[in-house]
Amino acid sequence: MKRFLSMLLVACLALTMIFSVSGLAVAEDLPRLEKADDGSAAAKAAQDRIDSGKYPTVVIAFMTWAGRLQGTDRVAEKMSEITREKIGVNVELMPMDSASYSQNMNLMLASGEQVDLFNAVSVGFMPCYNKGYLYDLEEDDLLATYGQGIIDTFTSIELGGCRVGGTLYGIPVKKDDASGKFGISIPTKYLDEIGVDWQSMYANPEDEIIYTDFDFIEDTFAKLHEKYPDKVTFYTDPGSTVSQCLAMDYPSDMFGVLLDPTNSLELSDLFSSDMYYELCERFYRWNQNGWISPDAITETNATTTQVKAGSLCAYKTATKPGIRQQESNLCGTPVAIFQLGPDFKGSSAYNTMPWAMNQNTDDPIAAMQVLNLLYTDPDLATLICWGEEGKEWQESGDGHIKFAEGVDAQTSEFYNNVNWQMPNQFIARIWEGDSLDLWERMQNWNDNALTSKAMGFVFDNSDVSAEYTALTNVYNEYQRQLELGFLNPDEGIPKMEERLKSAGLEDYIAEKQAQLNAWAEANGIQ
Amino acid sequence: MAKTRDKSKMSKAWRQATLKRSIPIYLMALPGLIYLFINNYMPMPGIILAFKNYKAKFGIYGSPWAGLKNFQYLFSTQDAFIITRNTILYNVVFIIVNLIFAVGVAIILSELTHKVKKVYQSIILLPYLLSAVIVSYLVYAFLSSENGFFNNSILKPLGKAPIAWYQEQKYWPFILVFVNLWKGIGYNCIIYLSTIIGFDRSLYEAASIDGATKWQQITKITLPLLKPTIIMLTLMAVGRIFYSDFGLFYQVPQNSGALYPVTNTIDTYVYRGLLQLGDITMSAAAGVYQSLVGFVLVLSANLLVRKLDPENALF
Amino acid sequence: MKQEKRFQVFGHIVMTIITLCAVLPLILLLISSFTDNDVLIRNGYSFTPEKLSAYAYEYIFTSGNSVVHAYGISIVLTIVGTLLGLTITTLLGYALSKSFLPGRGVITFLVFFTMLFNGGLVPTYINYSDVFGIKNTFWALLVPGLMMNAFNVLMVKSYFVSSIPDALLEAAYIDGATEGRAFVQIALPLAKPIIATIGMFIGIGYWNDWMNGYIYLTKRTDLYSIQNLLNRMIQNIQFLMQNSSTISNANQGLASIPSVSVRMAMAVVGVLPIVIVYPFIQNNFVKGITLGGVKG
């Protein structure tokens, strides 16, 4: 059965490859939102601003790994050159450290300081909604009039992912929306050493992922463990194990999930499911075999860092186009990617890090026009993703771009590495190392992944927040023990179940189900 | 009786004189009071956030009331007892242990004559300057299952089986008390040390001539003189009995689930529960709850002190 | 005398043990910061590492913001903050020690009250950022929270009450000294021990603080203090580690960060100046105390 499934997947993938040759034409007939006019109102608004000579400033906030780099104002000025000319607006960039982004955003949104557009990553889309930070993007036909490029970029279903109670509060980011479940990454040098002929396992020579089954993986782990007794055989980040291994849909959180998301809208308790038991039982067995480090429960280093240091042989990852290159870079050695589950797109695919507008914004029209331009103008997209040509990057000669002369990741004045957070990285230039058709492949892959029926549903848990805090504390207590195989699932799961139940799991799921049903009815989903 | 009559007789003049003397004193107090007003009292009305259903559009004061809904999560679960118990018990133990060691070290340091005592004093202060994250790594260096010093350098040579420290609850109350002491001792003893150094040395000289032993000097002179400071610091610590050092209880045990029954406190519980929720009203509610309990406790403790020893009451 | 000697020996033994407990982990910290990052991940922390490397320090001193500049900010901040804080704390503490002062009880209670209750982060932020507009200025590092707290005020107050004979000040007053002169010429010299202590508390508070910078500095990276800068680096790395698998496309930057050793090196960089400066402060501290000790 599993083999059959994986064969099916391979076939799917092959199909997408064929599609990708024909370009991006697939999405033409998909449902779109209606536009208010032919774009004349937007053009007029822009012209009026240019004529008046008074350019409003739109402040754009986002999260970065290294905070505000020195080139920020320079790049913002370069962007303003474009936005002034096209829509009569200046932009200001406000990148903030990942460590403080959530706190800074919360404080700024609460105090009424000027932030017009911001990415909701880390702050959280629903928390923002609950505190009333978000502007209704369809108020007075704002999107339909001034965001027509956004309407062309996303289908109405994709945009629907950012609706709460029918109101549109955000615009998704163009990124990998689906993820390949239960991917495992292993450096090829280790595979070669234990005599696994991984090269012959690709279904197609141009594939980057090997679809396989647990028999093979466990056999491989056993060999790895024997060959490298001093290295840890396998590690999985506890924070993402369940979400990246199991092909189920978890609207907003793990308490109440869709176990059969492509067919049914019935929420169940994940922790009493066979799926969860099997996962824990498997890891428990792996742990007993000595494949998981006794220190795994307190591990604080990223998986790829461990591989790079030579202390780890294999780890779990979520797959997507470009994954082999990405993980090889991170590990500092070529890896092979195996995948044991399907490609799947869950209900939260479009609202994990949407762009949103501050309810307090002075000029919603200008802000919407800037956002619209960020989704549609390749020069602007390249600037916000990669910085300025000649300063941060230069042409590499084959269609890619690369670091400018004398610049590297450490010394660059605008190398934020957060393109996944930018409105539309699909239209920006492509960096050396990634294939030029990466975004076409990504688009096709997104379009062809299994999709949850609850796609676009968001759960508002503000009425059951007390239960939520209790459930989270219980789950936190058991999560790493169970999902890294330190606790026998036959004993651990019932214990956790009992505590979750008394923390109000059933009430919580019932509330979620009620909202899901209402949502399904409103959207005409059976 | 005589005194009151006296006072009322010269009451007017007395009051005038007092007032005249008081004006410069008020002026001295003014900068500090202004600072308190700006830093503490101006934001103080924000406490009502805990009773609001916050919506940015209406601001803190205009948002609709939520009653006690934001407090519900602190009490509605089975964990409420455990987190309250842990918070209080650890704090009580910390107060006692820290007091004994801080006073002990301060007395020893004050009595030592060799110059090396300055070296002691500098070094024991250093752990206080490290952040909780760094402390957690240092603790991990000692306790990690595979590479930790305890397992590798102590238990192994003794032929004992290694211990999975981060999964064994029974050791952690001791570890946490020790780490807390280790981190704070240098800082905590400073205040006692400076107080002791301020004492009148002639008392000790007189006692010495009278043939009092060192121990007698400590128990009969130093400790009684230290009493006001000890009472005051303890009272202040009682006010914070519902608070816990987040870094100590979250970072140092590496957030290990198996240890929650002995490491989960009000602060860590709130943090975990609200991490994804990001609810500012619920976290405000936790703060109000902690403050309120501390307030009641410290008032009662102060009342008790006033009964037993009116000189040393806080107010 | 024999008994005195016994006490001295006992004291040194106890202090040596406590000092060793404090210093051993710190030596480990120092060695770890000079250990090769991969070796740290493979073998854990060790007093005798397989391979040494100064790359962590290279990383700290070459990446992004200038560490030297941040040191400068920290030093200025600590000196200015300590002086201002000491001034207002001592003045208020002294005022509250005056038993004849009308309303003393109420004021003391108001001071104490702030120790237990506060408006919370959001109202405090709105107050400083919207009402006083100190966001992205040096004031934001100096003023919020750190300058004076109830604990210090009450410590000063109790010191004045218990250690400075009222008679002394009364005598001065009767001799015709103003309140101000009595304070400066009599009370202050006698209060040197507590002033030195509180000064150190405030100074450490300023030196160690990174929260104010976190909250109030969103644009002015040139105002980052050393602790703010280091904490940002540490927490960014930690955030990156935790999210490298959940946020896809995570990043190539991760590959070059010496993640473990750099954290250790940062701790060293943050503590080192205090290790160097502390003996000098302590010298003055002790001198002040011996000068100020009440004689007879």
**ipTM of the complex in this document:** 0.89
Q: Per residue in A245-266, is it b (16+ CB within 10 Å) or e — as a string?
A: bbbbbbbbbbbbbbbebeeebe
Q: How far apart are CA B216 and CA B210, in angstroms?
A: 11
Whether residue A8 has pLDDT greater than 90: no
Give backbone dihedrals phi and psi of A354, rounded to 5 degrees, phi first. Answer: -75, 160
Domain span including residue B153:
84-226
More confident residue, A85 or A526: A85
Taking a C-beta distance cutoff of 8 angstroms, is the pair B92, B241 a contact? yes
Whether residue A405 has pLDDT greater than 80: yes
Asked if C281 is an interface residue toward chain B (Cβ–Cβ < 8 A), one would say no
Asked if C148 is an interface residue toward chain B (Cβ–Cβ < 8 A), one would say yes
**pLDDT, tens only, C180-212:** 888 888 888 888 888 888 998 999 999 999 999
Tokens of residue B57, six digits: 């559009």
Whether residue C248 has pLDDT greater than 60: no
Residue B52 is assigned to a structural domain of this protein: no
Mutation pick from B54, B73, B74 vs chain A, by most beta carbons of A within 10 Å, is: B73
What is C65-257's CATH number? 1.10.3720.10
Q: What is the mean pLDDT of chain C?
A: 85
Taking a C-beta distance cutoff of 8 angstroms, is the pair C22, B126 a contact? yes
DSSP-assigned letter for residue B245: -
Rg (CA), chain A: 24
Q: What is the mean pLDDT of chain B?
A: 89
How high is the pLDDT of residue A14?
46
How many angstroms away from the CA of A486 is the closest CA of chain C? 20
Q: How far apart are CA A96 and CA A94, in angstroms?
A: 6
Q: How far apart are CA C182 and CA B80, in angstroms?
A: 54
- Over residues C255-262, the mean pLDDT reads 72
Chain B residues inside the 8 Å CB shell of A468: 273, 277
Mutation pick from C114, C117, C294 vs chain B, by most beta carbons of B within 10 Å, is: C117
User: Which of B28, B112, B124 is opposite residue C12, by nearest beta carbon?
Assistant: B112
Q: How far apart are CA C141 and CA C211, in angstroms?
A: 9
3-class DSSP assignment, residue A520: helix
Domain boundaries, chain C: 65-257
Whether residue B133 has pLDDT greater than 70: yes
Whether residue C115 has pLDDT greater than 50: yes
Asked if A293 is an interface residue toward chain B (Cβ–Cβ < 8 A), one would say yes
**pLDDT, tens only, B221-236:** 999 989 988 998 999 8
Q: How far apart are CA A161 and CA A181, in angstroms?
A: 21
Residue B294 is assigned to a structural domain of this protein: no
Q: Is B79 within 8 Å of A473 when comparing Cβ atoms?
A: yes
**pLDDT, tens only, A150-190:** 999 999 989 999 999 899 999 999 998 999 999 999 999 99
Chain B window 141-200: which residues touch A at a Cβ cutoff of 8 Å? 144-147, 164, 166-167
User: Which of C115, C231, C282 is opposite residue B118, by nearest beta carbon?
Assistant: C282
Return the residue of A nearest to B253 by Cα. Answer: A298
Return the residue of A nearest to B269 by Cα. Answer: A473
- Interface partners of chain A (CB pairs < 8 Å, 3 or more) are B, C
How many angstroms away from the CA of A78 is the closest CA of chain B? 33
Chain B residues inside the 8 Å CB shell of C19: 119-120, 123-124
Mutation pick from B49, B61, B75, B77 vs chain A, by most beta carbons of A within 10 Å, is: B77
Q: Is A97 within 8 Å of C245 when comparing Cβ atoms?
A: no
User: Which of B57, B76, B282 is opposite residue A470, by nearest beta carbon?
Assistant: B76
How high is the pLDDT of residue C296?
29
Q: How far apart are CA A346 and CA A449, in angstroms?
A: 10
Residues of chain A with pLDDT > 70: what percent? 94
- Over residues B252-260, the mean pLDDT reads 93
User: Which of C219, C236, C255 is opposite residue A308, by nearest beta carbon?
Assistant: C255
User: Which of C63, C125, C254 is opposite residue A107, by nearest beta carbon?
Assistant: C125
User: Which of A305, A415, A420 is opposite residue C249, by nearest beta carbon?
Assistant: A420
Burial class (CB in 10 A: 0-12, 13-18, 19+), A229: exposed
- Over residues A140-152, the mean pLDDT reads 95
User: Which of A317, A330, A410 is opposite residue C62, by nearest beta carbon?
Assistant: A410
Asked if A417 is an interface residue toward chain C (Cβ–Cβ < 8 A), one would say yes
Chain A residues inside the 8 Å CB shell of B285: none
How high is the pLDDT of residue C247?
55
- Residues B103 and B22 placed together within one structural domain of the fold: no
Q: Which of B174, B193, B226 is the last residue of a domain?
A: B226
Q: Is C253 within 8 Å of A305 when comparing Cβ atoms?
A: no
Q: Is C22 within 8 Å of B182 when comparing Cβ atoms?
A: yes
Architecture of the domain defined by A179-345: 3-Layer(aba) Sandwich (3.40)
Q: What is the CATH number of the domain that holds B159?
A: 1.10.3720.10
What is A29-163+353-435's CATH number? 3.40.190.10
pTM confidence score = 0.90
Chain C residues inside the 8 Å CB shell of A242: none
> Where would I find the H helices in chain C?
2-33, 37-43, 55-62, 67-96, 104-116, 121-126, 139-142, 150-163, 166-174, 179-181, 188-190, 192-208, 211-216, 226-243, 259-292
Chain B residues inside the 8 Å CB shell of A298: 140, 144, 166, 254, 256
Tokens of residue A60, six digits: 């754009």
Q: Which of B201, B226, B251 is the last residue of a domain?
A: B226
Positions of E strands within B120-199:
none
Burial class (CB in 10 A: 0-12, 13-18, 19+), B1: exposed
What is the full DSSP assignment across C162-221?
Answer: HHS-HHHHHHHHHTT--HHHIIIIIIHHHTHHHHHHHHHHHHHHHHH--HHHHHH-SS-G
Q: Where in chain A is CATH 3.40.190.10? A: 29-163+353-435, 179-345
Cα torsion angle, B189, B191, B197, B199, sign: negative
Burial class (CB in 10 A: 0-12, 13-18, 19+), B104: middle
Taking a C-beta distance cutoff of 8 angstroms, is the pair B172, B259 a contact? yes
How high is the pLDDT of residue A374?
97
Give backbone dihedrals phi and psi of A319, rounded to 5 degrees, phi first. Answer: -95, 165
How high is the pLDDT of residue C129?
93
- Over residues B255-279, the mean pLDDT reads 92
Whether residue A146 has pLDDT greater than 90: yes
> Could you tell me the pLDDT band of residue C4, with boundaries at 50, 70 and 90?
confident
Mutation pick from B61, B276, B282 vs chain A, by most beta carbons of A within 10 Å, is: B276
Whether residue A202 has pLDDT greater than 90: yes
The listed range with the strongest mean pLDDT (A315-324, B13-22, C241-250) is A315-324
Tokens of residue A260, six digits: 């059969």
DSSP-assigned letter for residue B152: I
Q: Is A240 within 8 Å of C238 when comparing Cβ atoms?
A: no
The listed range with the strongest mean pLDDT (A382-391, B106-115, C61-70) is A382-391
Whether residue A25 has pLDDT greater than 70: no
Whether residue A516 has pLDDT greater than 90: yes
Burial class (CB in 10 A: 0-12, 13-18, 19+), C118: buried
Give backbone dihedrals phi and psi of A421, rounded to 5 degrees, phi first. Answer: -95, -15
Tokens of residue B146, six digits: 């595979």
Q: Is C125 within 8 Å of A243 when comparing Cβ atoms?
A: no
3-class DSSP assignment, residue B161: coil
Instruction: Select from C45, C50, C52 the least CA-distant residue to C26.
Output: C45
Q: How far apart are CA A366 and CA A374, in angstroms?
A: 12
Taking a C-beta distance cutoff of 8 angstroms, is the pair C258, C55 a contact? yes
3-class DSSP assignment, residue C263: helix
Chain A residues inside the 8 Å CB shell of B264: 473
Q: Which of A408-412, B143-147, C11-15, C49-53 has the lowest average pLDDT? A: A408-412
Give backbone dihedrals phi and psi of C16, rounded to 5 degrees, phi first. Answer: -65, -45
How high is the pLDDT of residue B132?
87
Which CA distances in Å does A113 have to A104, A106, A309?
11, 11, 44
Whether residue B17 has pLDDT greater than 50: yes
Return the residue of C nearest to A415 by Cα. Answer: C253
Q: Which of A136-140, A411-415, C35-39, C61-65 has the lowest average pLDDT? A: C61-65
Distance of CA B158 to the CA centre of its chain: 39
User: Which of A298, A465, A478 is opposite residue B282, by nearest beta carbon?
Assistant: A465
Asked if C157 is an interface residue toward chain B (Cβ–Cβ < 8 A), one would say no
- Over residues C20-25, the mean pLDDT reads 93
Residue A167 host element (H or E): strand A167-168
Tokens of residue B214, six digits: 């060192």
Q: What is the mean pLDDT of chain A?
A: 90
Chain B residues inside the 8 Å CB shell of A297: 166-167, 254, 256-258
- Residues B97 and B222 placed together within one structural domain of the fold: yes
- Over residues B139-168, the mean pLDDT reads 89
Give backbone dihedrals phi and psi of C71, rounded to 5 degrees, phi first. Answer: -60, -45
Asked if B277 is an interface residue toward chain A (Cβ–Cβ < 8 A), one would say yes
How high is the pLDDT of residue C292?
43
How high is the pLDDT of residue C284?
64
Chain B residues inside the 8 Å CB shell of C37: none
> Could you tell me the pLDDT band of residue B294, with boundaries at 50, 70 and 90?
very high
Whether residue B278 has pLDDT greater than 90: no
> To 10 degrees, what angle do helices C67-96 and C150-163 make?
50
How high is the pLDDT of residue A19?
42
Q: Per residue in B209-238, is it b (16+ CB within 10 Å) or e — as a string?
A: eeebebeebbeebbeebbebbbbbbebbbb
> To 10 degrees, what angle do helices C2-33 and B116-125 make?
40
SS3 readout for B25-42: HHHHHHHHHHHHHHHHHC
Q: Which of A190-194, C87-91, C216-220 has the lowest average pLDDT? A: C216-220
How high is the pLDDT of residue B9?
53
- Interface partners of chain B (CB pairs < 8 Å, 3 or more) are A, C
- Over residues B259-264, the mean pLDDT reads 94
Whether residue B175 has pLDDT greater than 90: yes
Residue A275: CB atoms within 10 A of its CB come to 18
**pLDDT, tens only, A283-335:** 999 999 999 999 999 888 888 889 988 999 999 998 999 899 888 888 889 99
Taking a C-beta distance cutoff of 8 angstroms, is the pair B102, B185 a contact? yes
How high is the pLDDT of residue A206?
83
**pLDDT, tens only, B78-128:** 889 999 999 999 999 999 999 999 999 999 998 888 888 888 988 898 999
User: Which of A240, A301, A316 is opposite residue C41, by nearest beta carbon?
Assistant: A301
Residue C207: CB atoms within 10 A of its CB come to 22
User: Which of B24, B129, B214 is opposite residue C3, by nearest beta carbon?
Assistant: B214
Chain C window 172-231: which residues touch B at a Cβ cutoff of 8 Å? 173, 178-180, 183, 193-194, 196-197, 200-201, 204, 207-208, 231
Residue B18 is assigned to a structural domain of this protein: yes
Instruction: Count the domains in chain B.
Output: 2
> Could you tell me the pLDDT band of residue A65, with boundaries at 50, 70 and 90?
confident
Which CA distances in Å does B148 have to A125, A135, A510, B250, C21?
41, 52, 46, 20, 17
Give backbone dihedrals phi and psi of B259, rounded to 5 degrees, phi first. Answer: -95, -5
